Structure 1
């Protein structure tokens, strides 16, 4: 697998499980498009928060190949995290919060990402599932 394998449209579902027992749900699309030097990742969809409040949600990242792995940056170019395709795990520290992600490509082309987020005001696990659109 390589970076270009992600090109195109993906259906995306996400569950965000908070430590207090509440959950949020996201349903939408993720699209990888070419943007030098790699790919632009854009997800759009509907986020349903605990209590039923619904809102449109969007996020963007830049993905590019880097020494046998993939480097992910925020849309403005600031580094976010890097993972190796053989052991797809990464961490990001955003003081005072820590973020760790485990990617699972074992059912490729379906794949998953699980984020664990911890901090003074954050404590949740986010499961995202991607399938070809």
Structure 2
């Protein structure tokens, strides 16, 4: 079982597959996710790599989030926030396969984490909305 935010700090190799069910094609991302300490209970997540999506030419893709840990009775939980500070979802580290969701009207995002083979771990996103229908699976391993 994971104990806290500190275990994520550092650089991770990241591979992702995106199954776009609405448009009938696949995307692949290959790169790195880096968790950098920005406060006692805060990590900055930066993901950078190459994305090939359908028949489009390869492009550089970047994402940024803030991961915040808690103390006290909420220790063992992580709040993931968008770069601008808006809440995104939570991760309960007391479970090997935590899940959560995020509603961003009109779209719905559902995530499942898999920490069963730590330090290798995975995320699986299912996203549905009027113009979205995709599944995004990511695998992380220490770089």
Return the TM-score normalized by structure 2: 0.89
Matches within 5 A, 1:52-91: 52-66=56-70, 67=74, 68-87=76-95, 88-91=98-101
How far apart, CA to CA, are the structure 1 residues paired with 2:130 and 2:24?
Answer: 17
Post-superposition offset of 1:52: 4.1
The alignment covers a number of residue pairs equal to: 133
Structure 2 residue runs without a partner (length 5+): none
Provide the alpha-carbon RMSD of the alignment.
Answer: 1.0
Gaps of 5+ in 1: none
2:42 matches 1:38: yes
The ranges of structure 1 where at least 4 consecutive aligned residues each deviate by more than 2 angstroms after the TM superposition are none
CA distance in 2 between partners of 1:125 and 1:118 (Å): 9
Q: What is the aligned partner in structure 2 of residue 11 from structure 1?
A: 13
